[in-house]
A and B are shown apart, each in its own frame.
Chain A
Amino acid sequence: MGKGWCLFFLFWPVAAVVSCAMAPMVGWSFPYDNAQAASNLGIRIDGLFYLILLVTAVVFVGTQAVLVYALWRGSNNRDERATYTHGNHKLELIWSIIPGVILLFLALYQMNLWADFRIKKYFPEAAVKAPIAEVTARQFEWRFRYPAIGKKLQPKPQADDLYSVNELHVPFGKPVMIQLRSEDVQHSFFLPALRIKQDALPGLQIPVWFEANKEGVYDLVCAELCGWGHYKMKAHVIVESEADYQNYLKNLTQQQFYDGLGKIAANENDSESEATEK
């Protein structure tokens, strides 16, 4: 074993630490606003991520340091022959129990977050009571069905439901829930900025909740390789004030029941998005 190998194994932990430290500066980190999630739940998820990153980094750097030390010593001491030992019971215990404890800690530590994110019983009550829309993933677009203003979303389409495609509007400052479905294959509802990701499965209706902590336009992408047009399956989630949201629904209602006459005739061929833009 030459010293070259020492350098080789030394290089990787150094490279890993340096690239992690640089990541936020060069835009390799999480998306949006200094890598800060756009939802409170997302910030908690990021916290969990950083904790796991820290634990694995310490373990990785530590083991590499031991490896490099052993190689370095070995390469400086060519007279000493390696010997075979059956193992060290104490050592085995230590490196089994410590990772076990760490894993157990992580498992317990994340339980609340997981429950808040995924278990319907722990969802914010207001959101569960009034899902704002049904989101149907389809090769290769997102279709949305809102209940009529003042009504509740029904599992089956209603005559006065409102529809849009690739543009989901949600009110700001309160948790919202959607019912996620797929019309064809498996898709995944992914809001990178909010750290929300949930698979959509044909035949199932899956509730997903989120709460954006900043107004804005967020990307909605498909995170499941769903076919050749997968990369095009993009939409926008527009988080806006309650008033703007209601206004949007009003506009959508007007467009949806448009009979070719009346005041929206001028831009009748425009999409919903323009009608709401002032």
Chain B
Amino acid sequence: MRFGLSRLSLLLLFPLFSLTGCEQPQVNFVFSEKTNELVPEAAKPVKEALVRQFGNPFELTQFEGLPTDFGDVEGSVKTVQSSSGDEKLIRFQVEGLQDAYPKLLGLPLEWTSGKGQGQISRIKEYNYETGTIAVDKTADIEPQPGDTFLVECTRLQFGRDLYNRHCMHCHGMSGEGTGPTSRYLNPPPRDFRQGIYKYTSTKPTAKAQNADLERTVKEGIAGTYMPSFKLLTEDEVSAIVNYVVWLSIRGETEKKIVDELFFDYSKEVVAERTSEDGGESREDVMEELKEYMELDFPDTLEFATSSVAEAWEEANMEDAVVVPETPRVPDTPESRERGRKLYLGDKTKCATCHGLQGRGNGTATQDFWTNPATNEKYPNRGLHDIWGNQLPPRDLHRGIYRGGRRPIDVYRRMYSGIKGTPMPAFGGPLSDEELWDLVNYVMSLPYSSK
């Protein structure tokens, strides 16, 4: 059979198909659903503020007061290349960046001396071999040999690159938990933007320590799709966690400022306010919004970021960690029996969720629960976490411990509860001995014959 014209044309089209497949998708931090539910006049400044504060995945931005290691590197201008008048970029050779992270493209460069002192340029080109940097030419910036500068966010960028390689396909570009593979996973990957992590060593109201997140990255989470990344170096793991926390802070900041605006300026509320019953005109509402944006919004933004940053900083303090006052009570049949009684008793009500035998089938799994965020009943029976996923209580016989299988891990799950889930904190109501009895009982269940 002859090789027909149609086949030839198909063959010729093949490279075209492959080329289109290689096109880079548009990459950006996404905004939360709630932000998109604001009226456009309110959503726009919120989005602009977030981009100004945090940048986008290609151009990360840093600002004061975050518990983030931005990794600034100092450098100085060695020689400036002469350029013709209509050239848009200005190129210069630098000193001092030899040991820095080699990919500086897109990073902010702050001039610390010379004419442009205090100005920030974006690195538009960077050649690691020759040490040449190109930035946009502006009237304010005129680099001279000897001028010094800081390249910002190198550590953050290192973390971002690792995150995008190892984590992004599940957790998503902005840590929203909806990466390309997330739809195939159950339990779904964590949405970092609430700043809540389940398995921590910290007190009930505290955030996670960096060390907790590093442990999760290295050890993985048994029983879920989160694998272990133990072959990454310590430095890489800490860079990833640094970036993940930064993504959390970005998400939480967004949530805080949107929560502030939502009550008055969501599409629904504005429609209500401007309806016949509401009696306000749209112009009035917009005028009020404009005023708010000019007068109060900067403070709201400042307060949101600083309070979030503070919470993260506090979590990394030594006294945020849950440390038992007494060592583990010896794992004897008596201790287990005391634990069993506690488990079944009214003081803890463990059995309500985990079931009389610890099979994860307590009566609470048959109830319709109320969503604490919306005050509406969930459409299906059983417990839910704050990310909106249905959450069966753990079957304690399986011997799978997501937050770690050391006695201290189980102790901390009971002391602080599991953050973001209905598992409550028993740190106050139960004494240390009682908690250890419970730990002994729970940890014996996978090996009991019942």
Contacts and interface: CB of A to CB of B under 8 A. Distances in A.
Contacts of A258: 406-408
Contact of B219 (A138, A236, A271): A271
Given A166-B230, A259-B324, A271-B230, A141 B220 contact: yes
Given A138-B227, A166-B230, 11 more contacts: A139-B227, A140-B227, A141-B228, A157-B399, A159-B446, A228-B181, A229-B227, A257-B407, A259-B328, A268-B408, A269-B201
Interface string A251-263: 0000111111110
B405 A163 contact: yes
A165 interface: yes
Interface residues of A, number: 33
A174 interface: no
B406 A269 contact: no
22 contacts: A139-B227, A141-B220, A143-B222, A157-B447, A159-B443, A166-B231, A228-B181, A232-B166, A236-B231, A257-B328, A257-B407, A258-B406, A258-B407, A259-B324, A259-B406, A260-B322, A260-B411, A260-B412, A261-B323, A268-B408, A269-B211, A271-B219
B324 A260 contact: yes
A165 B327 contact: no
Most buried by B among A167, A234, A262, A268: A268
B274 interface: no
B215 A269 contact: yes
Given A259-B407, A269-B214, A159 B444 contact: yes
Interface in B52-84: none
B437 interface: no
Given A159-B447, A260-B411, A268-B408, A165 B225 contact: no
B218 interface: yes
A228 B182 CA distance: 12
B446 to A, nearest CB: 7
B147 interface: no
Contact of A260 (B181, B214, B408): B408
Nearest to A184: B225
A141 to B, nearest CB: 4
Contacts of B327: 259, 261-262
A229 B220 CA distance: 14
Contacts of B231: 166, 234-236
Interface in B198-244: 201, 209, 211-212, 214-215, 218-220, 222, 225, 227-228, 230-231, 234
Nearest to A261: B327
Nearest 3 A/B pairs, CB to CB: A260-B408, A259-B328, A269-B211
A268 B399 CA distance: 21
Interface in A151-195: 157-159, 163, 165-167
A273 interface: yes
Contacts of B212: 269
Interface string B167-189: 00100000000000100000000
Contacts of B444: 159
Contacts of A140: 227
A134 to B, nearest CB: 13
A274 B218 CA distance: 12
A256 B322 CA distance: 18
A256 B447 contact: no
Interface residues of B, number: 36
A158 B446 CA distance: 9
Interface string A64-100: 0000000000000000000000000000000000000
A273 B436 CA distance: 28
A167 B222 CA distance: 15
Contacts of B222: 143
A140 B169 CA distance: 14
Interface string A130-143: 00000000111101
Nearest to B407: A259
A259 B408 contact: yes
A255 B219 CA distance: 13
A158 B230 CA distance: 25
Interface in B368-407: 399, 405-407
A165 B323 contact: no
A141 B223 CA distance: 12
Nearest to B237: A271
Contacts of B220: 141, 165
Interface in A206-252: 228-229, 232-236
A167 B412 CA distance: 26
Given A143-B222, A259-B411, A269-B201, A166 B406 contact: no
A159 B227 CA distance: 24
Given A141-B220, A228-B181, A271-B219, A157 B446 contact: yes
B227 A232 contact: yes
Contacts of A159: 443-444, 446-447
B400 to A, nearest CB: 10
Contacts of A257: 328, 406-407
Nearest to B213: A269
Nearest to B214: A269
B215 A273 contact: no
Contacts of A235: 230-231
Nearest to A142: B228
Nearest to B322: A260
Nearest to B401: A163
Contact of A165 (B169, B219, B443, B446): B219
A152 B78 CA distance: 67
A265 B327 CA distance: 12
A273 B328 contact: no
